[in-house]
Amino acid sequence: MDGQSDREIAPGGSETVKVTIASTNLAGPYTKVVTVTGNDPAQPKATLTVRGKVLVPIQVTPRLANFGKLPDSASPAPVVISIRRGDGGPIDPKITDAARPGIQGELRVVKPGEHYELTVWLEPPQKPGRLRGWVPLSTGVPEVPARTVPVYADVPPSWADVAATE
């Protein structure tokens, strides 16, 4: 029926209902309930359940490297991020350049063309306060040629002093 509300369906007849899902921020399994209203007193509303799977060209899990509050005297553990092709095609990710001094990343091949791991770590000195940066990637995927992995941390004042003591 495609959005038209003045159509009539003969008793015992049928009609196609077109449902469009805005999938920009979705990934994976999806369920949506759609209510169709009619003039049949015995069944004034019909509920349709739409199920599907939204495929994304690139899956990045977790979506960001969040180090939280950094320890005062030691470097935090690196964050490992999984990068996969979400719709089955090949990928070939590469780190394109340094996003910010002190944010480092390294890619490791788990399964060529299918699965990679990005290890992200921080190096002192960093300015005290909230660190915001990213690791930029080329993906090798035409639909999404570039992707950034955000990096966050709360930097204590002692991290600004590390460079002076080394």
- 47 and 92 co-located in one domain: no
Compute the mean pLDDT over every residue in the chain, rounded to the nearest whole number.
84
- 62 and 142 co-located in one domain: yes
Q: How sure is the predictor about 163, in pLDDT bands with cuts at 50, 70 and 90? A: very low
Which pLDDT belongs to residue 165? Answer: 45
Task: Report strand pairing: 129-138 vs 146-155.
Answer: antiparallel
- 49 and 85 co-located in one domain: no
User: 26 pLDDT exceeds 60?
Assistant: yes
| Residue from 83, 1, 86, 81 nearest 38 by CA | 1
Which pLDDT belongs to residue 61? Answer: 94
Q: How sure is the predictor about 8, in pLDDT bands with cuts at 50, 70 and 90? A: confident
- 105 and 86 co-located in one domain: yes
- 79 and 95 co-located in one domain: yes
Share of the chain above pLDDT 70, in %: 89
Residue 136 and residue 96 in contact, taking contact as beta carbons nearer than 8 Å: yes
DSSP 21-50: ---TT--EEEEEEEEEE-S-TT-SEEEEEE
Which pLDDT belongs to residue 145? Answer: 93
Instruction: Examine the fold and report which residue of 12, 37, 54 is the final residue of a domain before the chain moves on.
Output: 54
Boundaries of domain holding 42:
1-54
- 141 and 63 co-located in one domain: yes
Per the model's pLDDT, the better-predicted residue between 119 and 87 turns out to be 119
User: 98 pLDDT exceeds 50?
Assistant: yes
Number of structural domains the chain divides into: 2
Q: How far apart are CA 156 and CA 78, in angstroms?
A: 17
- 46 and 67 co-located in one domain: no
CA 109 to chain CA centroid, nearest Å? 20
- 16 and 66 co-located in one domain: no
